[in-house]
Chains A and B, each alone.
Chain A
């Protein structure tokens, strides 16, 4: 790790300016991914601006029934917050399925969004990686692909975004509140992260120095019955192979009036499954319809030789999560998939 200067930021705009002015500066929040990358040599800032003492650590109600979660709210606090649990349990579930208790106590809302891929080649300086070193090549294209993308990848990068939280936020139409040196703006979480295209070194649409100060969740009644399902190899403390966040609202005739589906572990960004959502609207909300919705989304899938198994997993993630949501919406309580401790 290279030496660096350490500053404690006094205010958000000042922090943004400090980083914006120095291409080699970085914000430090919980540090659970940044310090990890610095040890690996993947990231080598010469200045760290510690934002954890900025007053961005509250969960507040918004006027129309939404919630604002400060960027410094720790993942564990967000997951345990009574308003998050009751209004957006899918967000609590997603947060709690990520990392470990210790990491969730340090990791922040903003930092979780901006964590970087865990692609083994990205993290290994001895191998080529376009994201780490543009133009060097993508080692994963013909390498180890278990955790890699099946949607929206490019010949330059097949990495996935590792966050669980961001998947739930994408489904919930959340917006990131972004501060730069001059002003504040809002970006939908589903459009915050990019697809790799020809510039995989850029994870998000943010400019250097942009600081996420909060995440805002709009009021969404169907979110109270939304659910998150994470499929992984280890029973806990493992990144998703595939995950799904889903919300659904049924009309009086039992057909689907509205739906939100986002997938994790499948793309360079939390993957909003809009084709599946469209296919669901007006459908009868049966297992058959859920499978058809999954197929609609899978039409866009382009698996790699080493992760073709993710296609049936996507299908399973969508159908089981929608099934669970439908059971809840219809008042049947927990679906068959709710064995204790088996998530």
Chain B
């Protein structure tokens, strides 16, 4: 590529900055740093779902050649977790080997550290754990009297008062338990040198890791160095810290001077690093005969853990999605003897838009309306929740543009109307939304002029595959007025200025705005002809409009679904999404973000289901052979488009987040298309052949 003038960098599509290194396999991930004196950790997991470890017999394990130590609660170093550990960090989840209490099956109850990987795993299999077993409870249902409302229901008007209505749609919609399953297993390399701890960690935020590890281990945060420039995906599960990082820290404490390595097995990832709770959504829509909503009632039952609380906010998106005078949105949480759920791509919105968007489709059929028209008739002119104006809301434009590109006009107005070569064919649509999450404060960026036209931009952000590395380079180039090739971005290290976690689709808004501010500070201080070595730093600026507007990205998802007449097999030959997400900084990597979200949405729609066997208490289909994620052959014609959206209120870049909205609504669009194809309404994910064969 020829030299790109800075003023044009934003909005173009330069290639991924880290692409060549990744394609060649030379970009190092956490487990891959060459370290001296290494040792391998192999966890031992509880085989009861609730109970107490009475005794660990490690004699066989210790006899394995190369075993350095076997840790369990009687001999493990003590952690000093801060009980008020802030934010999403759950102290109880991180108190690894601090007591014999077992709160879920698969919890770490011991760990072997050995000279070799093979010895560690052999020995871990030879550790004998004796338990006192207690009855456990892992059965989620929306009929349980012990479900708790974690907050008061959100109410406007009176949903009971929405009667009489011409049309009522009332059903329970369910989404399955899902596991994030980034391709890179959660990995840590930990090394204590005196009081200084170095962690190579697969994480969505190095500073978050430093803060949390320091808090649980009683360390000065300044003595904890976290390194993570390359991260093999996270999708939320590498946001908050989980037990394995605490375990690696403990092992490093137990073996000072050694570099201890831990990479979870895929199977262990189904117990130790969080998951998306299943949801049972009771949705009740009331409307007049023209499809104008009079009431929206969404109560979502989800599971949390007896160990620590995490409530999937599945009823949340309905608060702001459509206009209706009478509204209730609430959550019911059941605390089970299960691992602690966590964020998974678009927590809240992703499962929470399934029920309501399928219900909207059902309402459209009941009213004899096109489902796009139904949604247009219920567009609010202000945020129904806060009554604030929208900073921008272009759902209607997304629906129109998507309909045009997808060929929606030719859709038959009846279901089960079209069969091609033995496949029933249908089209479906659903809306998507994701909030512009206010970026957490505390991000800071530094810009330094190296001479020869080269600028180095530093901040401790994480590119977990989002393209942040590339987009931040563009933002800095534009703000500095420098060519793209002369801007180097450094990230993923706590020696760099603090940056917020990669989560909530806040990366670009947060870090980009910070880099933008740092560039302006640099020019203000050093002008257009800086001396080599000139530096400036800036913090994330406050958003003066932050409190005055409701801020969301929107999208419209279209799916063509084929259901085999005889076998019920479900395939999705076409998926198309149109998004309104503010300014798109990098067209190439943004498209990948949208497509990636849609692909994961397709995977959720057709495949993903972690099966808990209630007798044992754990996920039994805990590998990639049984827990299917979409394979290449599942994804056929898939397209993402966006509309030009100017939003001066969200941040200086005008960019809304794009990492999560792509997954929102996809599953509903697929289920709606499957109904159009077959006349069979599936209200429970995943949508599979059992729903159709013989139906």
Contacts and interface: CB of A to CB of B under 8 A. Distances in A.
Interface of A: 1-3, 39, 41, 118, 120-121, 123-124, 126-127, 139, 142-144, 147, 231-239, 241, 309, 311-313, 316-317, 319-320, 336-339, 341-342
Q: Which of A118, A233, A317, A336 has the most chain B CB within a 10 Å cutoff?
A: A233
A309 B690 contact: yes
B694 A233 contact: no
B169 interface: no
A241 B689 contact: yes
Interface string B118-140: 10011001000000000000000
B524 interface: no
A259 B420 CA distance: 29
Contacts of A147: 626
B422 A236 contact: no
A120 B422 contact: no
Given A236-B631, A316-B567, A319-B566, A337 B613 contact: no
A320 B423 CA distance: 13
A139 B613 contact: yes
Contact of B422 (A121, A126, A238, A337): A337
A336 B564 CA distance: 11
A316 B615 CA distance: 34
A235 B122 contact: no
B567 A317 contact: yes
A234 B621 CA distance: 15
B631 A235 contact: yes
Given A309-B689, A337-B421, A239 B625 contact: yes
B613 A144 contact: yes
Contacts of A143: 613, 615, 620
B620 A320 contact: no
Given A234-B628, A236-B631, A337-B421, A309 B694 contact: yes
Interface string B542-585: 00000000000000000000001011110100000000000000
A233 B606 contact: yes
23 contacts: A1-B118, A2-B122, A39-B121, A120-B621, A123-B623, A126-B616, A139-B613, A139-B615, A139-B616, A143-B613, A143-B620, A147-B626, A231-B567, A234-B634, A235-B634, A236-B634, A237-B631, A238-B631, A239-B625, A241-B689, A312-B694, A316-B567, A336-B422
A1 B636 CA distance: 40
B688 A233 contact: yes
Contacts of B423: 339, 342
B108 to A, nearest CB: 14
Interface of B is mostly: loop
B325 to A, nearest CB: 43
B143 interface: no
B611 interface: yes
Contacts of A312: 568, 693-694
Contacts of A309: 568, 689-690, 693-694
B179 interface: no
Contacts of B618: 126
Contact of B567 (A2, A126, A320, A338): A320
Contacts of B634: 234-236
Contacts, number: 105
Contacts of A41: 125
B633 interface: yes
Contacts of A338: 421
Given A1-B121, A41-B125, A127-B616, A236 B632 contact: yes
Nearest to B570: A233
Contacts of A139: 613, 615-616
Nearest to A309: B690
Chain B contact residues (Cβ within 8 angstroms of A): what range?
Answer: 35 or more
A142 B611 CA distance: 13
B47 interface: yes
Given A234-B607, A337-B422, 19 more contacts: A39-B121, A41-B125, A118-B626, A120-B626, A126-B47, A126-B618, A127-B620, A139-B616, A231-B689, A232-B569, A234-B628, A236-B634, A238-B631, A311-B694, A313-B568, A313-B693, A320-B566, A338-B421, A342-B571
A315 to B, nearest CB: 8
Nearest to B117: A1
B620 A124 contact: yes
Given A313-B567, A320-B567, A341-B633, A233 B421 contact: no
Nearest to A127: B616
B441 to A, nearest CB: 43
Nearest to B106: A126
Interface string B663-695: 000000000000000000000000011100110
Nearest to B691: A309
Contacts of A316: 564, 566-568, 693
Interface in B592-617: 606-607, 611, 613, 615-616
A238 B607 CA distance: 11
B421 A339 contact: yes
Contact of B628 (A1, A39, A231, A238): A238
A138 to B, nearest CB: 12
Contacts of B622: 120, 124
A339 B569 CA distance: 13
A98 B689 CA distance: 20
A118 B623 CA distance: 11
Given A2-B122, A313-B567, A316-B567, A235 B633 contact: yes
A271 to B, nearest CB: 18
Contacts of B623: 123
Pairs of residues from A and B, 8 with the lowest C-beta to C-beta distance, nearest first: A312-B694, A236-B633, A316-B566, A235-B633, A309-B690, A336-B422, A316-B567, A126-B47
